[in-house]
A = this chain, B = another copy of it.
Amino acid sequence: MNELTPLRRVTIIDIAREAGVSPSTVSLVLQKNERISAETRQRVEDVIQRLGYKYNRSAANLRRQTSQAIGLIINDICNPFFAEMTAGVQSVLQGTDFLVFLVEAGDDVERQSRVYRSLEEHGIGGLIIFPASETKPEFLERIAAGGTPICVAVRRPPDADVDYVGPDNRLAGRMATRHLIDLGHKRIAFLSGEAHSPARIDRIAGYRDALQRAGLKFDPALCLESRPTRANAIIDVQKALDLKDPPTAAIGYNDNVAIAAMHGLRLRGVEPGRQFAIIGIDGTSDAELAHPALTTVALHAHDIGRRAAELVLERIKAPSRVHENVILRPNLIVRSSCGSR
């Protein structure tokens, strides 16, 4: 009323006074509760407009003991896979009142628990996490038990009883291998990735499946193993070339490895796509920019993020729903790095 004291922020109480109702009523209007008659609602809404009221979620959070924020713990936002996954999460949160707290844990359990603690302090209504590789299932289960709706993404914790959404790594490995076999390749390398990585284990399993199905025998020498960096990928592909019976094609542990491997080939004067087939696994948009454009098995990072967010939102509504395991089917995207064209 007094236009001379615009210092205090306008609260639900100011609205109530101005609209001639109680604060409770304003609160109910805010929550779109149908308990309130149309005319009262209208009146309150008008006042809200007029006074430029801003909802204070901190107060609501305190009172309701929850928060409209979702924690999103990933490895590294510069990795396009995670960037796309993050975009997927955002796409579903977009239309809601939820916001995301993004944090990177860099595949470090120590840091992961630190950032989780911080998320907890700030208050989150749910959590989507790509767990660090050394994560113990109890860590995730303790979070779930604590009442925080949680969805684990991409990296399946062995036996943790929580919601999960991720790719079918085995099928992806199989599809990639199958594609190369269909193109007539008999000696196919698998480049990079760390031996203990569950993703790699599954992809290799798929690779072996496809080999076996085609009556080709598995040669361990063709499976190079290393941290999946660009530098290692270059080394690995060259090691493969140096074998007594060298491969004519290779699967990259991921797109990055595959792209770097193409560089490695050229350093040896081998032209990828023409003299050697390369296929990646990931399907990030980077693959399209490579030259030759990378044939790859898309894991649908965006959809993983989307589904994970949907799952968390559902669990927020119904905390005791039975846990879901969502496995997304990969897709082969044929471009030119395997010579088809």
Seen from chain A, the residues whose Cβ lies within 8 Å of a Cβ on chain B are: 9, 54-59, 61-62, 65, 67-69, 76-78, 80, 83-84, 86-87, 90, 97, 99-104, 117-123, 230, 256, 259-260, 262-263, 266, 285-286, 288-291, 293
Would A99 and B101 be within 8 Å (CB), given that A123-B56, A263-B291, A291-B290 are in contact? yes
Q: Across the interface, do B118 and A97 meet the contact criterion of CB distance under 8 Å?
A: yes
- Once the chains are docked, how many angstroms separate the CA of A208 from the CA of B45? 55
Q: Check if A78 sits within 8 Å of B67, measured CB to CB.
A: no
A104 CA to B260 CA, complexed, in Å: 30
A100-B101 in contact (CB<8A): yes
Contact (Cβ within 8 A) A99 B103: yes
Q: Judge whether B104 and A90 touch: CB under 8 Å.
A: yes
A101's nearest neighbour on chain B, judged by CB, is: B99
Chain B residues lying within 8 Å of A61, measured Cβ to Cβ, are 58
Q: Closest residue of chain B to A291, judged by CB? A: B291
CA distance A54 to B120 in the complex (A): 8
Q: Which residue of the partner chain B has the closest CB to A93?
A: B103
**How far apart sit A119 and B68, CA to CA, in the bound complex (Å)?**
11
7 contacts between A and B (CB under 8 A): A57-B121, A58-B67, A59-B62, A78-B80, A78-B83, A78-B84, A101-B102
| Beta-carbon contact of A58 and B62 below 8 Å | yes
Cβ distance A230 to chain B, nearest Cβ, rounded Å: 8
CA–CA, A44 to B293, complex, Å? 61
Known A-B contacts: A55-B121, A57-B123, A78-B87. Give 11 more (CB < 8 A).
A58-B123, A80-B80, A86-B102, A90-B102, A90-B104, A97-B118, A99-B122, A259-B289, A266-B291, A289-B290, A291-B291
> Which of A65, A103, A117 has the largest number of chain B CB atoms within 10 A?
A103
B90 touches A77 (CB 8 A): yes
**In the complex, what residues of B have CB within 8 A of residue A80's CB?**
78, 80, 83
